[in-house]
Amino acid sequence: MEKYRSFDEIQIALKKGESDCRSIVNYYLQNIQTKAHLNAFVEVYAQSALEQAEKVDQKLVAGTAGRLAGMVIGIKDVLTYEGHPCTASSKILNGYVSQHTATAVQRLLDEDAIIIGRLNCDEFGMGSSNESSVYGKVLQEIGTNRVPGGSSGGSAVAVQANLCTVSLGTDTGGSVRQPAAFTGVIGMKPTYSRVSRWGLIAYASSFDTIGIFSTTLPDNARILEVIAGYDTKDSTSSSVEVAPYSNSLQFNKKVKIALLKEALHAPSLQAEIKENTLSVAEKLKLAGHEVEEVEFPLLPYVLPTYYILTTAEASANLARFDGVKYGYRSPKAPNLEQLYKNSRSEGFGEEVKRRILLGTFVLSASYHDAYFTKAQQVRRIIKDQTEKLLTEFDFLLLPTTPTTAFKFGEHGDDPVSMYLEDLFTVQAAVAGVPAISIPNGKDKKGLPIGLQVLANTFKETELYAFSHYLSTLTLN
C-alpha cells in the first residue's frame, strides 16, 4: 500500500506512534530500490539518512524535534551537502565531494528534515528534458517514452514516484515548473533572492532560484518558510521578512486575474492545454473573480533575452572548472594549456559547451553592446512591464508549457526547438517574480498538464493561498 505521500500523513503516523522516522526512511529506501530503473536518484544516502532518522526519533521522544521532523527530502545534484559528492550531473565534477552544506539544505537539516539522496538533472541545469545528464535520462513513473522535463527531472520524478516526501530543485528559466507540469506534481519557484544561493552550483547567477517539488501545497509552503530568508553568506539574498506561508493558506477574497493573450493564442500551444486553462478561467469567473485577457507584446522577446543573458553568465560561472581546482582532470596533458583545454573538452557535455561558446560570443568585445548590453536593457523593460501588470492584477495565469511531455530524442539536434519549450516559464525568471505550476488535468494520451500562476515580487503568501484555492477548480 502506498504511504507517506504528504507530511500530514507522516505527522499523523508519528503522533499515533504507528511509525518512526527510521521506518519512514526505510519505506522510501525500499521504493527507491524498487523503482531504481527510473534513474531519479544518482546517489542514495542510506546511511546518513538512517543516522539522521535515529537522531530525530530521539528528539521526538524528548519533545525537542524541529518543524520538519519526519520529512524526507531529495536534493538536486547541484546543491552541496558536506561530505557527500556533488557533480551537477557533469563528468567535469567527477569525484568532487562537498566541503560545506548549502544554506537551504542546512536550514532543512536544522529543522530535523532527513536528506535521502541527490537527484539526477540536466548537466549544470541546462536543458528541458533531463537528456543531458552524465548519468543518463530519467524516466517518468507513468511508464511512457516521454521525458520528465528538465532540468530538475530527477527531483520531479522522485516526488511523482513517491521516493521522498518533497524535493529541492533549481529554476533558472523553468527547471522546477516545467518538470512539475510534465510529471503532474506541484513546482514552486519563489521570488529571485528569496532563498540563499550559497552552496548552489551556479548556472546563471542573476536567475538561479532554489525551488520546491511536492504533492501538496501545504508541504511546499512548509519547506519555503524554512529555507527562505536572508543569509550572510549570500549578499544577494533578501532580508524581506519570511511569512508563515503554511499557516496562511485560507483564501476568501475576490481577485483580479490576467490571462496572457500571447500565451493562450500561441500557435505552438497544444489544444487540450488551452482548453483546460480556459476551463479554469471560466470557473474563476463563475466564482465571482475578475478575469481578463491582457496583452503582453513583449513575450516574443523574453526567450532570446533569457538565452543571451544566461549563456553569458554561464560562460563566466563555468570558467572555474579547469581541471585543476575541482573534479575531473584530463590524463592527457603535456602542458598547462593542454590540461585546461583537454579537461574542459572531455569534461563538459555538448549542450554545456554550446552555451559556453554562445556566452563567450555575446560577451566578446565586438558584440558585447549589441547582445549582452541590449539584452540587459530588454530584461529591465520586461521586468518593469511584468511588475506593472502584477500591480494592476493580483495574478497572472497561463499554461506552464506549450505541450505536454514530449518524446525522448524529439528535439534531436535542434537546440532552438528545445529552447522553445521554455516559452512560458522564462518570463517569471527574467522578471524575478514568484511562479508556481499546479496540475490541471491530462491530455488525451493521459499526460499531465500544468497551470502556471505568477504573482508580484515577494507575494508568496498570496500565491500559495490562491493556488491552494485554485486546486479546487482545476481538472483532475
| Residue nearer to ligand GLN on the CB measure, 117 or 150 | 150
Annotated active-site residue in 133, 175, 238, 343: 175
CB of 56 to ligand GLN, least distance (A): 31
Residue 422 sits in the site that holds ligand GLN (CB under 6 A): yes
Q: Which of 14, 103, 6, 29 is nearest to 60 (CA)?
A: 14
| Residue nearer to ligand GLN on the CB measure, 171 or 394 | 171
The answer to whether the beta carbons of residues 186 and 156 sit under 8 Å apart is no
Q: Which residue in this structure is represented by grid cell 553568465?
A: 313
Q: Which of 31, 30, 6, 74 is nearest to 161 (CA)?
A: 31
Annotated active-site residue in 98, 128, 129, 151: 151
| Residue nearer to ligand GLN on the CB measure, 315 or 343 | 315
Q: Binders of ligand GLN among 308-337, rule CB under 6 A?
A: 310
Q: Binders of ligand GLN among 181-240, rule CB under 6 A?
A: 203
How many residues make contact with ligand GLN (CB under 6 A)? 14
175 has catalytic annotation: yes
Q: Which of 29, 126, 223, 455 binds ligand GLN (CB under 6 A)?
A: 126
The answer to whether the beta carbons of residues 115 and 52 sit under 8 Å apart is yes
Burial 5-40 (b: 16+ CB within 10 A, else e): ebbebbeebbeeeebbbbebbbbbbebbeebeebbb
| Residue nearer to ligand GLN on the CB measure, 348 or 466 | 348
Residue 151 sits in the site that holds ligand GLN (CB under 6 A): yes
CB of 263 to ligand GLN, least distance (A): 17
| Residue nearer to ligand GLN on the CB measure, 123 or 394 | 123
Residue 441 sits in the site that holds ligand GLN (CB under 6 A): no
Contacts with ligand GLN, 34-63, as mask; x by CB under 6 A? ------------------------------
Long-range contacts of 236-245 (CB under 8 A, 24+ apart): 236/193, 236/197, 236/205, 237/193, 237/194, 237/195, 237/196, 237/197, 237/198, 238/191, 238/193, 238/194, 238/458, 240/194, 240/458, 243/460, 243/461, 245/221, 245/460, 245/461, 245/464
Residue 165 sits in the site that holds ligand GLN (CB under 6 A): no
Q: Which of 125, 117, 122, 119 is nearest to 147 (CA)?
A: 122
151 has catalytic annotation: yes
Cα–Cα distance measured from residue 212 to residue 167, given in angstroms and rounded to the nearest whole number: 6
Residue 125 sits in the site that holds ligand GLN (CB under 6 A): yes
Q: Which sequence positions are flagged as catalytic?
A: 76, 151, 175
Residues binding ligand GLN (CB under 6 A)? 125-128, 151, 170-175, 203, 310, 422
